[in-house]
Amino acid sequence: MADPIVMVSSYPPRLCGIATFTEEAREFIQKKHPDREVLVISHTDGEGDGVLPIIDLSRRSWWRTVADTIRELSPYTVHIEHEYSLYNYVDNRGRADSNEGLLNLLEAIDDVPTIVEPHTVHGRLTDFEADFIFQMCERANVVVFKCHYQKWRLDWNFAHYGWPTPTNVMVIPYGARDDRRFSLAEVIELRDELGLNKVDHLSEHLVGLVGWIQSNKRWDILTSMWEDIAHEIQDRTGERWDLLAAGTWRDPRHKADYDRYRSEMELLEKKGLAHYYEFIPRGEVYYKMLAVCDFLVLPSTDETQSSTLARIIALNKPFVTTAPMEGLTAVTLESGGGLLFTTRDMLRDHVIELATNEQLRMQMGENLKRYLDTVVNWDIVTEQYDEAYDLAREAVKTGRKVDLPKEF
């Protein structure tokens, strides 16, 4: 067996978007490299074959164990998924190390081909974010951003500080599956499988709010106006549409908003206008829950990219989302698969427009199919990962930094 590809990340059963992403990315990287093991160095709560749960953030020096293990594995490349909270050591005074451990890890394995894939790169960086990204780019061979705007905005951000713009940043989109499309007949069966047909008042047409319930997701924007929207749709078309809200909370900091959203949904349920479905958004059921909706609404107020949106694209489902909102806006414009809103009235109008215009829904679905087939399909994304791996390996071999062109 050839040298392994080693991913460093959170991993299931942890209820974490990065963990879910890594599980899926690993599946397709392994498919692309049947001759290599794809191993995962995870936090201590990670589980599964080929998973090494050794990241112990109770120790400031957690990175030393990871570095030693990487050397023992002699990897083809190291592929690190980054989110600030994943590598944040907090001491007994409650002071965080600002991801210093990850920077130490990168220094300790500087002779190993390494790419880092950060999942949060805002268009306007805070001082801390700018400093961390600069240092990360200095230490990694290749840094992978998810969206083109993140790369060209980096040039603007760093010019503000008088810093040189890193040349080793590569754009690789958030991957999406092409094997989760459901036919109309299958969707009807899914409603029965999920128990939705047992809900007496639930109509044939559903608008979905699906995913992890967090404060920044702002489900209340739509739930607060849904009764008016539902009546307007019925007046125009004679059809009944219901709101399907499905998911659960995972972070105690968001529990109060979860409770508030639930109470709003319960009021709508009593009026026969909506239904709430509790489930953990990961795995096959995540796709099934999205599939039963005619279209989805993502009223997020902070999102550089979205695992829910990747699944919406995989299913070719039209969507409505917030703008201007980082990756959500970028993907909406690039795919042609969604409508953007900046005010409550725009959200209302767009939801009504999609519900009353089947031709528009079909056109957006076709746009998303084309975007999936030509841009974000995992098979295409893993080809681009291979390009990043090759660049990282060449940089280590020659001692020359990766030099990629700017976006603009």
Instruction: Return the pLDDT at 1.
Output: 80
What residue spans define the domains of the chain?
A: 2-175+378-398, 184-376
Instruction: Return the pLDDT at 225.
Output: 96
What residues contact residue 136 under an 8 Å CB cut-off, 6+ apart? 82, 102, 103, 106, 116, 118, 143
Nearest one of 142, 67, 14, 36 to 400, comparing CA atoms: 142
Beta carbons within 10 angstroms of residue 53's beta carbon: 16
Instruction: Return the pLDDT at 278.
Output: 95
Side-by-side strand order, sheet with 295-298: 274-278, 241-248, 205-212, 295-298, 319-322, 338-341
Nearest one of 229, 338, 210 to 286, comparing CA atoms: 210
% residues pLDDT > 70 (the chain): 100
How far is Cα 150 from Cα 154, in angstroms, rounded to an integer?
Answer: 6
Please tell me what DSSP assigns to residue 179.
S
Identity of the residue numbered 260: R
**pTM summary value:** 0.95
Q: Do 184-376 and 2-175+378-398 fall under one CATH topology?
A: yes
Instruction: Return the pLDDT at 186.
Output: 95
Classify domain 2-175+378-398 at the CATH topology level: Rossmann fold (3.40.50)
Instruction: Return the pLDDT at 348.
Output: 98
Segment 216-231, tens digit of pLDDT: 889 999 999 999 999 9
Classify domain 184-376 at the CATH topology level: Rossmann fold (3.40.50)
Instruction: Return the pLDDT at 301.
Output: 87
Strands 51-55 and 319-322: unpaired
* pLDDT beneath 50, residues of the chain: none
